[in-house]
Structure 1
Amino acid sequence: MLTRGSVWRRWEPHIHTPGTVLNDQFGGVGAWESYLSTIESRSPTIEALGVTDYYLTETYEQVRLHKNAGRLPNISLIFPNIELRLSVAAKTGFVNMHLLVSPEDPNHVDEVRLLLTRLQFSAFGDVFDCTREGLIRLGRQVDVKATDNRAALAIGATQFKVDFDQLRKVYETSEWAQANVLIAVAGAEGDGTSGVRQAADATMRQEIEKFAHVIFASSVAQREFWTGQRGVSVEELTRRYNGCKPCLHGSDAHDNATVGQPVQDRFTWIKGAATFDALRQAYIDPAGRAFVGSEPPKAAMPSQVIASVEIEDAPWVTTPSLPLNAGLVAIIGARGSGKTALADMIAAGCDTVPPSVWEDEKGVSPSFLSRAKPLLGESRVKLTRAAGAVVSRYLDGRDANNPFSYPSARYLSQQFVEDLCSAAGASEGLLHEIERVIFEAHPVDGREGALDFEALRGHRTHRFQLARGREVEAIKAISDRIADELEKEALVQSYDAQIKQKENLIAGYNADLTKLVVKGTEQQAQRHAALNTALQSRLAASQAHAAQRRTYIALQDEVQRTKATRAPEILREIQSRYQNSGFSPTQWDEFLLIFKGDVDASLVRYLTWVDSVIAEIEGVSPAPTPAGIPMPQLIADDADLTMQSIAILRAEMGRLEDLISADTVVRDQYAALSKRIASENGALAALRNAHVDAQSANERRKLLQVEREEAYDRLFSAIINEQQALVDLYAPLMARLVMAKGTIRKLSFLVARVVDAKSWADFAEEHLIDCRRAGPFYGRGSLLRRAEAELKPVWQTGTATEVRAAVSAFIHRYWNDLQVHAPFAPTDQEAFRDWSKRFANWVFGTGHISVRYELAYDGIDIRKLSPGTRGIVLLLLYLALDDADDRPLIIDQPEENLDPQSVFVELVSLFINAKSKRQVIMVTHNANLVINTDADQVIVAQAGSHAGGGLPTIAYSSGGLEDAEIRRKVCDILEGGEDAFRERARRLRVRLKR
């Protein structure tokens, strides 16, 4: 048996024939020829015929005779549709109910007639059976003039009404009926249950619909209602109506013009073989097996469907050619029967076998192709697509993965699933696949030119990562400046003491100086002191301008370095970060950093100016006087000493030193002491300047701290912006999860800040604070406890402003305590300064904070799931979320590591949904995955004996679940097969023939 399994076929379940009991408009002579010819010529081709008549089977039997005579060659199934009228009133008549009888039993006509005799109608003080004779007798009671049997039969048929309770009792007490008859009821208003609108009859309507297996209705609204897609859920349908119902529709033809031609081309399509069991399967799976419309439902695209697989030059395959269904193909068989071999060969033809399999020289891979490689010889696999494309590949991989090949399917081999779902693979392979699905959920025009998820994420977050880097550098630079200011603050008291000491020292020197002044020269000494003060002032001015000159020269060097090196390098870095700008070299030149003005000329001018000022301050020493001639006074008594040059001031001081004492020794002492006083006064001035600078350090530090907090605010804003960018990146998939139903709703995505408070605290306890010292941070872990309580929550969910406030409050609260635990005392200035910088970089650091998404299943992070549950997530990914991929999905034993209940609850619905969008080829040992997914095709693998050390022979058979032989093999091979069938067909009155 090698069939494609369950495919959509057109059925005509409700059609009358010439000679129908009521309203026969088919004409006289030649009516049957015209009728049969019309059915044979209808398009789409009718393959199953439900021959309908009121209460009787005679016309059905006539159609069978014509079929046996060679007519209706395209019709494989003909079954009786016995139309009954219930005693329940509808809008324009009475509710019609139909008995759809299986023709599988050779005695089905006799059996159904026997069943009908048990239906009786009471009138005229008599009881009439539902038989031809009973109906004729009733007709003559109604109209005594109806002497013709045909006329009496028609009258009796219009009057005979079946009591619903009686019909239900007859059916439920007949084992044959429950095994061979399906009950259908009209759903329309005129003669169906929709016409039962009286409130008093609501219960009756519900009971009738609950009793029925099939609804005769053609509207989309009815079909959606009865499959749980409109108004009520599947669970509610099960509770109120005994489950979902298939909706069927026929032409209900009473004349030749409407034979097989329902209004608006509302044809009935049943998925399966043209057998009565296909109708039973449609009752079990209404949504997947029955449809009313001009065409059957669309599934996978023909260009993507593998229509057939052929194994060439492989004598070990006794059935080398297999047709494949476009929906769900289940490959079953005993262990070692060739199931995985078939999946591997199909995958090879689709170029989806991983290179590691072909490169496996030792045969350690579980792949059939790897282990059998030495025995494959010239064997090839040829795949033919439904659209006509053909590809052939050698099974030993010699032509696999060539530069022009493209994986035309997705293959989830056992090894692939195990690798992705193992403890190690959960954080890498599985997450990579999730990211791929997220990427493909974005429309092509929304991918910003990215080729994969990583590139798209880089596009979305690059800006904010750059911002983080900039702010980290800014915080580091500001922290260095704050450390400088803290060091200055610590020196204020030291400067106070040094200034006091220096003032005392200068006062002592001045006292010593007065003792060297010869009586009568006091005025000269005072003048000398004034000159010395002026000299120190001018020297300070000269030094300040000399510092300016050094700065200008350094700036010249900086300008040259910026032009030659830094600016071009900055431009190159910008070009590297923004490669997608599309700018030409000329356009990029506009981004080269240049100085606003002509700084080279300006610096030359500044140097010329400062040189002139220094020269003016230094001045020119006067020419020496001849020996024996005293030097004249160089500076007038009323002259402004602060405007004199250094050279003139020194010369004038030398002249006065000669006048103060004639004694050379005393004169030299006076001059030396005056210079010492001048030097100490200069040092005192420097100390006072440093003291003033140190006193204002506190204010500057506070401003810098605010600046650092603002930089930290911007840093955290960049983190939050990166988080939002990721939220936007995952939005398409998140939206799908919110709107999804069933198992997929257990999946959830959360983009969150992940805070490693422990690493943050551990770094400080190892490098910054001494936990052995007494204090609030004594003992390892004390800092972590405070960080987790006071900082971690706001790091995880707070705004930038909230984080800034929390960190500032933390520093303010514990700064003094942390200094107690510092490994260096503040007096050890150099070490403490280095410590304070490292401390600031730590406390304002964000290296312990990352932004990532978390995928959870049933509220549990995927990283914490068992391998089996990760397998469910992986299948959710491919079966429910990977909409962008319409290629065939080949899965080898998806149930591995899953318990049967998980398979039934979690996976069945996924496979049902997936097979409506793409071809799914599945190797399985699980009955639920074959039966409850309503597999469209079952391929049964069977291996024979090995031939002379070669490969064992492998044979395949295939068909649909509506085929009794296939069902038998499913039950025999799969553990739980019988139980699964029983669960699938829960209603005892619907029995699939074994």
Structure 2
Amino acid sequence: MISRGSEWHRWEPHIHAPGTILNNQFGATDPWSAYLTTLEGLTPAIEAIAVTDYYVTDTYEEFIKHKAAGRLPGVMLLFPNIELRLDVAAKSGFVNIHLLVSPEDPDHLSEVKRILKRLQFRAFNDRFDCTREELIKLGKRSNSTITDDGAALRHGATQFKVNFDELRKVIDESEWAKKNILIAVAGGAGDGTSGIRQAADATVRQEIEKFSHIIFSSSPAQREFWIGQRDLTTEGLRARYDGCKPCLHGSDSHDQKSVGQPVGDRFSWVKGSLEFDALRQACIDPEGRAYVGDQPPRSAMPSQVISHVRIDNGDWASTPDIPLNPGLVTIIGARGSGKTALADVIAAGCDAITPAGWDADENISPSFLARARRLIGDATTTLSWGGGATTTRSLDGRDANGHTSFPRARYLSQQFVEELCSAKGVSDGLVDEIERVIFESHSQEDREWALDFAELRDQQISRFQQARERESEAISDISNRIATELEKESLVASLTSQVGQKKKLIAGYTADRAKLVVKGTEVQVARHTQLSEAAQKLRNQIQAFGNQRRTFVALQDEARSMRTTGAPEMLRQAQTRHSNSGLNAQQWDDFLLIFKGDVDKSLAAYIEWADGEVRKLNGVPPPPNDPSIALISDNADVSKLPLAHIAAEMSRLEAVLSADKIVREQYKALTGRIAQENSALQTLDTRLTDAKGAAARRKGLQAERDDAYGRVFEAIINEQDALAGLYTPLMARLAASSGTLRKLSFSVRRIADVQKWGTFAEEELLDRRKTGPFYGRDSLIAAATEALKPAWEMGSAAEVQASMTAFMVKYLSDLLSHAPYAPTQHAEFRAWLNQFAHWLFGTDHITVRYEITYDGVDIRKLSPGTRGIVLLLLYLALDDSDDRPLIIDQPEENLDPKSVFDELVALFIAAKAKRQVIMVTHNANLVINTDADQIIVAEAGPHPSGGLPPIRYTAGGLENAEIRKAVCNILEGGEAAFRERARRLRVRLDR
């Protein structure tokens, strides 16, 4: 036996035939021929018919005769539907209940008649059994004018009412009835339970519906109610009605016109092979196996369904042709029976085995094709797809993974799952798969042409990472400047002292020079002093112009370097960062940084101007003259004279101040020394003024740095928000889901490694040997954890900025007290301050990390088994964009039985409605409680020396008794799983 197992077929569960006891409108002239012809020509074709009649099986028996004569060749299943009227009033008469009888027992007719005979109706001080003979008697007793047996039968049928309690007792007392009869009740308002209007009869209605296995109704609202999607959940239905119920609908034909033509094309579809057990399975899984509509439910797209697998040139394949169900296919068998072999063969035909899978070590690999590599020979597999395509591949991998091939299925081999669920895999493979699912959950438009998650993530966050990097560099530059200003602040006292000392020194030199003045030369000395002061001013001006000139020359070098090296490199970096801009070379050229004006011309002019100003200030020395004649008149404005003239006059005056050569040389030397010290004093005054302004500048820079620090966190928060946006589609779906899916969650958060941040300072920056607040180990870490960590991880940019400001106000002086250098060690202290600032305002210890958790635990910390659940959650429940077949080899391998039942069963049920799932399993729950559509049983023969053992496959659905027997025999806990399923669903079925 090898079949596709459970497939959708059209059933007709409620149809009358010519000769039906009541309301027979088929006509008297050979109605059967026309009736059967109509049935044979229906579209969609009916393949299973429940022949309905009131109280008796006459029309069913007639049906059997016509079927035996060759009529209805497309109908594979006929069974009786015996319609009874209960003694419970409905809106238009009485509630009708149906006995659907399995035809599997060759004696089913005699047995069901024996059951019917036990139903009795009391009238006329007599008791009438539910048999043809007794119904005729009842008809004649209730109307003595009737003499014809046929008329009496019809009239008796209108009078006979079945007591519900008696019917329930008769069924409960018969083992045969419980095994072979399914109870259906009409759910409509006319002759169904909805027609029971009296409030006092509500309990009766509930008891009838509880007793029934099937509801005859085509109402979508009724179907939703009976599968737990309306007022009651499935648990509520089990508590109140003994479980969910399938809704079916028949044409209820009483005339030729309506044969097999229910109003609105509300056909009944049952999933299963064409045997009565398929109806039993529909009672177990109403949602998945029974449907009313013009077409059966669709699952995977035909083009994405493997409909048939064939193995050629493989003498080991005793069953070379295997049809496959489009839903859930489970492959079972004893160890070494060839289960994985079939999964491997199908995966090979789909190009779904990775190069690593083909190259696996044949001695340790769980793969059949890897182990059998040397023995597989020229065997090939050909897959036929539901859309009409076929693919053929060699089973030794010679034509695998070609440059034009792509995986037409996703294959979760044992090796693949073990790698993803290992400690190593959790940091790469499993996360990669999760990211792939997240990426594919975005629409094509939202992906912004990215090829994978990493590229999409980079597109979303690179802008903010670049902003963070820019602001961090700005903080570093500002910190350097702050360190410079702090150093200048520390020099105020020293410079003030040096200025004072320099003034005293100049005063001493001036006094010494005054002592050298010869009597009678006071006027010349005063003039010399005046000229000396004027000369000093000119020299200061010349020095200032010289400084400007050096700056202009340096700017020339910088402009030249920027033009030839800096700007082109900045453009290249921008092109790299924004490679997706689509700009061509000419368009990018517009982004080349150039100077706004002609800086070369300007700088050359500035240098020429500075040189001219120096020349004007220096002037041209006057020609030699009589030393007794003054070079500068007494009334001349010395502030307007050039330095050369003033210096020449000073030299003339020095020559006449004393006739003593030694005194004259001393006077000249002191004058030069005074000029030199005045220049130094001017420099010290400039530095002191600059140092006194350092505090104000430092505060401004600190405010600027605080703002930059806030902008760093704005960039970090923007990056966090962008990452969270990547998860929005899945997070929204998880929030709206229930059960296992709700255990899976994604979060994006900032992580502040305070330990790393504090440890670096304690070990590299601070001298904890010094007594102070941070003397003890980890004391800084404790302070930062309390004051900064909450804001770093959860605060806004403004809150982070405020927290850092408060931290500095509270701890900065304490931290500085642990500096390893004294402020007087200028070079060392300045270098340390730079390091300190870079550390204090650094953000390298802050990362934005996205986390995937299951039941509140990061997947990195889950056990391999639970990671296996997460992996299967991905493929079964979340990977909506992938509609290719999913092939899984023993998903339960790393899971405990409770996890299989609690976590996976519902996932497989949901997944098989969207894609074809082919699963190798040892677990009975994954076959039985998932209501597998096809079970393929693998069996291997003796292993010949130097060859492969013959492998044989049988296949069918759970509705097939032989398949169920194989499940029980092969799978550990198979019988227990069947019993547990019946207990859990409160199904009163033994088969």
TM-score, normalising length: structure 1: 0.98
Distance 2:270 2:973 in 1: 27
Alignment of 1:699-718 (within 5 A): 699-718=696-715
Query: Is 1:96 equivalent to 2:84 in the alignment?
Result: no
Stretch deviating more after TM superposition (331-340 or 736-745): 736-745
**1:162: Cα distance to partner?**
2.0
Distance 1:361 1:166 in 2: 69
**1:944: Cα distance to partner?**
0.9
**1:359: Cα distance to partner?**
2.5
Decide which of 728, 732, 736 is 1:735's aligned counterpart: 732
Provide Cα deviations, 1:236-290, integer angstroms capped at 9, x if missing partner. Answer: 2122221111110111000111111111111111111111110000000001101
CA contact (8 A) 1:182 1:990 kept: no
TM-score, normalising length: structure 2: 0.98
Decide which of 817, 836, 842 is 2:839's aligned counterpart: 842
Query: Which residue identity lines up with residue 23 of structure 1 in the other structure?
Result: N
> Which residue does the alignment assign to 1:875?
872
Provide Cα deviations, 1:933-982, integer angstroms capped at 9, x if missing partner. Answer: 00000011111112232111111111111000000000000001001111
Query: Is 1:301 equivalent to 2:293 in the alignment?
Result: no
> Which residue does the alignment assign to 1:660?
657
> Which residue does the alignment assign to 1:347?
347
CA contact (8 A) 1:121 1:162 kept: yes
The 3-state SS of whatever aligns with 1:952 is coil
Alignment of 1:592-607 (within 5 A): 592-607=592-607
CA contact (8 A) 2:18 2:24 kept: yes
Distance 1:51 1:704 in 2: 95
Query: Is 1:719 equivalent to 2:710 in the alignment?
Result: no
**1:661: Cα distance to partner?**
1.5
Distance 1:827 1:733 in 2: 60
Query: Is 1:226 equivalent to 2:226 in the alignment?
Result: yes
Query: Is 1:261 equivalent to 2:285 in the alignment?
Result: no
> Which residue does the alignment assign to 2:635?
638
Query: Which residue identity lines up with residue 589 of structure 1 in the other structure?
Result: D
Provide Cα deviations, 1:841-866, integer angstroms capped at 9, x if missing partner. Answer: 11111111111211111111111111
Provide Cα deviations, 1:449-483, integer angstroms capped at 9, x if missing partner. Answer: 11111111111111111111111111111010000
> Which residue does the alignment assign to 1:908?
905
Query: Is 1:688 equivalent to 2:679 in the alignment?
Result: no
Query: Which residue identity lines up with residue 216 of structure 2 in the other structure?
Result: F
Distance 1:649 1:87 in 2: 140
Decide which of 950, 968, 971 is 1:971's aligned counterpart: 968
The 3-state SS of whatever aligns with 2:260 is coil
**1:137: Cα distance to partner?**
2.7
- Long gaps (5+) in structure 1: none
Query: Is 1:990 equivalent to 2:988 in the alignment?
Result: yes
Provide Cα deviations, 1:663-686, integer angstroms capped at 9, x if missing partner. Answer: 111111111111111211221221
Identity level (%): 62
The 3-state SS of whatever aligns with 1:46 is coil
**1:716: Cα distance to partner?**
0.8
Distance 2:349 2:987 in 1: 45
Query: Is 1:467 equivalent to 2:447 in the alignment?
Result: no
Structure 1 pair 162/828, CA: closer, same or farther in 2 (3 Å)?
A: same
The 3-state SS of whatever aligns with 2:562 is helix
CA contact (8 A) 2:457 2:726 kept: yes
> Which residue does the alignment assign to 2:752?
755
CA contact (8 A) 2:284 2:987 kept: no
The 3-state SS of whatever aligns with 1:985 is helix
Query: Which residue identity lines up with residue 404 of structure 2 in the other structure?
Result: F
> Which residue does the alignment assign to 2:805?
808
> Which residue does the alignment assign to 1:744?
741
> Which residue does the alignment assign to 2:859?
862
Stretch deviating more after TM superposition (251-260 or 779-788): 779-788
Distance 1:363 1:641 in 2: 106
CA contact (8 A) 2:88 2:94 kept: yes
Query: Which residue identity lines up with residue 614 of structure 1 in the other structure?
Result: V
Query: Is 1:922 equivalent to 2:931 in the alignment?
Result: no
Distance 2:282 2:885 in 1: 25
Structure 1 pair 632/203, CA: closer, same or farther in 2 (3 Å)?
A: farther
Query: Which residue identity lines up with residue 942 of structure 1 in the other structure?
Result: E
Query: Is 1:670 equivalent to 2:628 in the alignment?
Result: no
Distance 1:834 1:156 in 2: 113
CA contact (8 A) 1:54 1:82 kept: yes
- Number of equivalent positions: 990
Distance 1:822 1:698 in 2: 20
Query: Which residue identity lines up with residue 253 of structure 1 in the other structure?
Result: S
**1:149: Cα distance to partner?**
2.0
Provide Cα deviations, 1:198-217, integer angstroms capped at 9, x if missing partner. Answer: 32222222222122110101
> Which residue does the alignment assign to 2:780?
783
Distance 1:722 1:80 in 2: 69
Distance 1:348 1:546 in 2: 83
> Which residue does the alignment assign to 1:799?
796
Provide Cα deviations, 1:730-774, integer angstroms capped at 9, x if missing partner. Answer: 111111111222211111111111222211112112211123332
CA contact (8 A) 1:341 1:368 kept: yes
> Which residue does the alignment assign to 1:937?
934
**1:813: Cα distance to partner?**
1.3
> Which residue does the alignment assign to 2:515?
515
Structure 1 pair 377/691, CA: closer, same or farther in 2 (3 Å)?
A: same
**1:808: Cα distance to partner?**
1.8
What is the alpha-carbon root mean square deviation over aligned residues? 1.4
> Which residue does the alignment assign to 2:118?
118
> Which residue does the alignment assign to 2:443?
443
Provide Cα deviations, 1:579-605, integer angstroms capped at 9, x if missing partner. Answer: 222222222221111111122222222
**1:69: Cα distance to partner?**
2.3
Stretch deviating more after TM superposition (197-206 or 902-911): 197-206
CA contact (8 A) 1:280 1:990 kept: no
CA contact (8 A) 2:4 2:323 kept: yes
> Which residue does the alignment assign to 1:480?
480
**1:361: Cα distance to partner?**
5.8
> Which residue does the alignment assign to 2:138?
138
Distance 1:845 1:162 in 2: 87
Query: Is 1:773 equivalent to 2:773 in the alignment?
Result: no
The 3-state SS of whatever aligns with 1:611 is helix
Query: Which residue identity lines up with residue 691 of structure 2 in the other structure?
Result: A
Query: Which residue identity lines up with residue 416 of structure 2 in the other structure?
Result: F
The 3-state SS of whatever aligns with 2:201 is helix
Distance 1:523 1:364 in 2: 114
The 3-state SS of whatever aligns with 2:47 is strand
Distance 2:635 2:188 in 1: 127
Alignment of 1:884-903 (within 5 A): 884-903=881-900
Structure 1 pair 199/638, CA: closer, same or farther in 2 (3 Å)?
A: farther
Query: Which residue identity lines up with residue 514 of structure 2 in the other structure?
Result: T
Distance 2:447 2:565 in 1: 37
Query: Is 1:57 equivalent to 2:57 in the alignment?
Result: yes
The 3-state SS of whatever aligns with 1:815 is helix
Query: Which residue identity lines up with residue 17 of structure 2 in the other structure?
Result: T
Distance 2:438 2:990 in 1: 43
The 3-state SS of whatever aligns with 1:382 is strand
**1:141: Cα distance to partner?**
3.2
**1:903: Cα distance to partner?**
0.3
Query: Which residue identity lines up with residue 75 of structure 2 in the other structure?
Result: I
Distance 1:703 1:124 in 2: 113
Distance 1:549 1:37 in 2: 113
CA contact (8 A) 1:524 1:656 kept: yes
The 3-state SS of whatever aligns with 2:96 is strand
**1:988: Cα distance to partner?**
7.2
**1:496: Cα distance to partner?**
1.7
CA contact (8 A) 2:471 2:708 kept: yes
Stretch deviating more after TM superposition (851-860 or 145-154): 145-154
The 3-state SS of whatever aligns with 1:941 is strand
Structure 1 pair 499/918, CA: closer, same or farther in 2 (3 Å)?
A: same
Structure 1 pair 494/31, CA: closer, same or farther in 2 (3 Å)?
A: same
The 3-state SS of whatever aligns with 2:373 is helix
CA contact (8 A) 2:242 2:987 kept: no
The 3-state SS of whatever aligns with 1:913 is helix
- Long gaps (5+) in structure 2: none
Query: Which residue identity lines up with residue 679 of structure 2 in the other structure?
Result: G
**1:992: Cα distance to partner?**
4.8
**1:624: Cα distance to partner?**
1.3
